[in-house]
Structure 1
Amino acid sequence: MAQADPHAPPSLTRLDGKTGARRHFRYFDYAMAAFVAILLLSNLIGAAKLATFQGWTFGAGILFFPVSYVLGDVLTEVYGYANARRCVWVGFFALLFMAFMSFVVVAMPSSPDWGCAASGDALFAGVLGKTNAGTICQATYVSVFGSTWRIVLASVLAFWAGEFVNSYVMAKMKVFTKGRYMWTRTIGSTVFGQAVDSAIFYPVAFFGVWTSQSVLEVLLTNWALKVLWEVVLTPVTYAVVGFLKRREGVDVFDDNLDFSPFARTEAV
């Protein structure tokens, strides 16, 4: 039931979690689309690349993947846990479809006449003389899009668990702080959510492929960098949250909601 919130700006109406779940919002669909797009692209392009910069070794996906967590914070803060839960499930099934599509496309036989950047690279000129352009292109295509079942499983599990932990902590801290000190919950939720994400993804995806030292080093480094990203982007989070709350005219507090990931979202 809607009621006045003494800690919210005067122009905003406080909604409880269930009311927020049933309400239609003007910008929710755009936020969800951005969330899913960044999630898919960061997993497709950057997840498997190991990079080193000035002595630091890290997964290249760290450059963009944390933005999905920032959007997760925005979704929970503005639209409530129930709507954020919808986004997590949409992202989960989108990841599964991406994995299935990648498997089918990569497995299809390549045409011998298929040309690509690798087949025209002088570095592969000797190989091209012994085979055909399609073989070279297929090999490079597999190296980019041919994720193993372990990486797919790790991505899906880590995202699912990490995002739900992130949203849960965010929503609970908002109620506890009565909507104040948003920076404490954006950073705090990231500390826990990204810890779960990294603790699942890197061991499941790369243990036995990378050395144990590399797995642990990248896990801890990426977790720290993700949290640092959240700190750096805090002003952006404040700006986006402020804009959306003013446009939507409400502030959602999840003080009477079932937080189970499998609970039915009561949305129109």
Structure 2
Amino acid sequence: MTSAQTFPAPAPPKFASIGSSYFSIVLALMAVVLILSNIGASKGVAIGPIITDGGFFLFPLAYILGDVISEVYGFKVARKAILASFALSVFASLCYWIIIALPGFDDDFGASKQAALEGALGPVPQIVLASLLAFLAGQTINSWILVKMKSRTGEKSLWARIMSSSVAGEFVDTLIFCSIAASVIGISDFGSFANYVLVGFLYKTLVEFLFVPVTTAVIGWIKRREPSYGA
């Protein structure tokens, strides 16, 4: 009579502490990318039949940086990074509101400057709200899936973790963001809205897929230099 075959339990996933300078650098980059993409998103962009916004080339970078934080530092740290980034985005939006509200010069130049500021930065608070809710939901799902998969695969199949989590996270993010932000950038009919959602989701996901080799290389570079990784 043979005994049942047993398999060794998977090793617990490795993560680094946030004591080194690498985490603060990645967090600062994430916050800057989010603030700039929120400003850019207030402008509608039409490239042939494609409808998007001015932050389209920036926002995928925030998710790539989120993947780096999730993989190296874990879900709890990633959640703190998300909240910190958006607290800074809300602060930036408050500053825009104060700048617009301050009394300006009464000449023609001052009036044109005020109109330009209101046009460029006035819609940002609603964009920040859209981005806040979308990124909180999408990035949390993205980070949770990535870390959950890491607990099963360990250090193997990083590319699969990044790609799988990106599809889920980007879909939720894009749907929520577009639903709130569409009216701000001038999208009012369903066809344009569907175009906006579909293009945004496919574009962001494609960018993350194309950058998987770069993301993987950056993650490996940080892991090798984080003294507490896996300690």
Indicate whether the TM-score tops 0.5.
yes
What is the rounded CA distance, in whole Å, between the counterparts of 2:21 and 2:13 in structure 1? 16
Q: 1:36 aligns with which of 24, 31, 53?
A: 31
Cα RMSD over matched residues?
2.4
Paired residues for 1:94-109 under 5 Å: 94-109=88-103
Secondary structure, aligned partner of 2:19: coil
What is the rounded CA distance, in whole Å, between the counterparts of 2:20 and 2:52 in structure 1? 38
Q: TM-score, normalised by structure 2?
A: 0.86
Q: Is the 8 A contact 2:52 2:196 kept in 1?
A: yes
Q: 2:144 aligns with which of 158, 161, 168?
A: 168
Q: Is the 8 A contact 2:93 2:124 kept in 1?
A: no
Secondary structure, aligned partner of 2:99: helix
Q: Is the 8 A contact 1:15 1:250 kept in 2?
A: no
Q: Deviations over 1:119-160 (max 9, x none)?
A: xxxxxxxxxxxxx11111111111111116532321221122
Residue 36 of structure 2 is aligned to residue 58 of structure 1: no
Paired residues for 1:169-248 under 5 Å: 169-207=145-183, 209-210=186-187, 211-248=189-226
Q: 1:141 aligns with which of 117, 126, 144?
A: 117
What is the rounded CA distance, in whole Å, between the counterparts of 1:156 and 1:206 in structure 2? 15
**Moved beyond 3 Å, runs of 4+:** 14-17, 249-252
What is the rounded CA distance, in whole Å, between the counterparts of 1:107 and 1:51 in structure 2? 27
Q: Is the 8 A contact 1:7 1:180 kept in 2?
A: no
Residue 128 of structure 2 is aligned to residue 152 of structure 1: yes
What is the rounded CA distance, in whole Å, between the counterparts of 1:230 and 1:148 in structure 2? 25
The share of aligned pairs that are identical, in percent, is: 34
